[in-house]
Chains A and B, each alone.
Chain A
């Protein structure tokens, strides 16, 4: 539940992060993970169209609601996804027990690497451009890959570790 970075956060952001963290801890909902990939909630450092995240030390899912980005480390690969479901733009949720993403609106399901399983959506989760820079994962939100329009770009939008 700790934000990935507090550098650059103003006092209000910090207090908001702290309050949320304490509320979740009080209810025992912090560090939501079970069997499968652990999930964390954080916030990357945004500069222009790029957002930087520390490379996750282990497989897991990080949800950055402020920037609408999901960062996944899965099977020695890093991915960044748009938080919105490609069907009707509802924020996707991670189901740790089921090891997949699912849209709460129409229940479209996706694998941890964003591959569409079933549901009303008609394509995979939208990937964002990623690269490594000084042990940071740099996500370029201007590089947006839709699997039905650019399957090659979508497949290449990953960093192998």
Chain B
């Protein structure tokens, strides 16, 4: 009964999405807007970390404060992505299920989340005065920039390559 209900929901949503330009626009705006917000803030913070590598301890601490304040912005963007993503997936389940590019993108998103957890853990260690945390911060900041870029590339390629 549950699977039948879910199936009906997917069919109904697919039809609703296909028939209403306003709904498509809102969902896509939430997804792209979330990406711009989260990726923009994250890449800015990542660049801040890389720049802080060349600074002294006092300036690094100030930089860490600034970076910490960006987490809320990144998380807000991710919430919009997490809500709109499944809606986009449900609008064309068959196409996405069979798309290698889609699963590549999902793998990259999973890696990004893991990388984000490692980055914030290293950031906490660095804030508590552990200088040894900075190489990990540098590595995760580079990984973060690369992952956000690749995810954006996959998202752009998805409608064209499938």
Counting CB contacts under 8 A, is A65 at the interface?
yes
A98 touches B19 (CB 8 A): yes
B6 touches A27 (CB 8 A): yes
Contacts of B5 in A (CB 8 A): 28
| Interface pick from B45-53, B86-94, B111-119, B144-152 | B86-94
Give Cα A88–Cα B93 distance, bound, in whole angstroms: 20
Give Cα A28–Cα B2 distance, bound, in whole angstroms: 8
Counting CB contacts under 8 A, is A102 at the interface?
yes
Given A98-B19, A102-B18, A104-B159, residue A63 in contact with residue B94 (CB < 8 A): yes
User: Nearest residue in A to B5 (C-beta to C-beta)?
Assistant: A28
Interface size class of B (residues with CB under 8 A): 20 to 34
Counting CB contacts under 8 A, is B128 at the interface?
no
Contacts of A91 in B (CB 8 A): 95, 162
Contacts of B19 in A (CB 8 A): 98
Query: How many chain A residues touch the partner (CB < 8 A)?
Result: 24
User: Nearest residue in A to B11 (C-beta to C-beta)?
Assistant: A34
A41 touches B94 (CB 8 A): yes
User: Nearest residue in B to A97 (C-beta to C-beta)?
Assistant: B15
The SS class assigned to the B binding surface is helix
Given A20-B98, A95-B14, A102-B18, residue A29 in contact with residue B93 (CB < 8 A): yes
Give Cα A30–Cα B160 distance, bound, in whole angstroms: 26
Counting CB contacts under 8 A, is B7 at the interface?
yes
Give Cα A29–Cα B51 distance, bound, in whole angstroms: 49
Contacting B at CB under 8 A, from A73-89, are: 88
A29 touches B6 (CB 8 A): yes
Contacting B at CB under 8 A, from A88-139, are: 88, 90-91, 93, 95-98, 102, 104-105, 107
3 shortest interchain CB distances as A-B pairs: A28-B3, A97-B15, A28-B6
Knowing that A28-B3, A93-B14 are A-B contacts, what are 9 other residue pairs whose CB atoms are under 8 Å apart, sorted by A's residue number? A23-B97, A28-B5, A34-B8, A93-B18, A97-B11, A97-B14, A98-B15, A102-B18, A104-B18
